[in-house]
């Protein structure tokens, strides 16, 4: 084993924050192999402590500012 973390799947709408149940945008992969899911708020709140304990943080909060593509005339 090389010690490299396996790639993680993108978070989906079905992934929920382990703290409050909102949609998860942050995954913390723990050193022991488990993971925790957080909404943007709780991800920011716990990220520093998790990183200092060796967790790898997958942050997808940039998806919150994306705007959907406008529908073309053919799609309407």
What's the whole-model pTM score?
0.78
Is the pLDDT at 75 greater than 60? The verdict is no
Residue 15's pLDDT is: 98
- Interior/surface letters 29-56, b for 16+ CB within 10 angstroms, e for the rest: beeeeeebbbbbebbeebbeebeeeebe
Q: Is the pLDDT assigned to residue 76 strictly greater than 70?
A: no
Tokens coding 59? 């942050």
Q: Where are the domains of the chain?
A: 13-61
pLDDT surpasses 80 at 62: yes
State pLDDT tens for residues 20-29.
999 999 999 9
The mean pLDDT of the chain is 87
């Amino acid at each position: 084993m090389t010690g490299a973390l396996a790639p993680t799947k993108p978070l989906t709408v079905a992934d929920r924050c382990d703290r409050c149940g909102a949609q998860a945008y942050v995954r913390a992969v723990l050193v022991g192999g488990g993971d925790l899911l957080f909404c943007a708020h709780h991800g920011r709140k716990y990220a520093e402590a998790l990183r200092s304990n060796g967790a790898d943080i997958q942050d997808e909060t940039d998806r919150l500012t994306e705007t959907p593509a406008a529908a073309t005339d053919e799609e309407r």
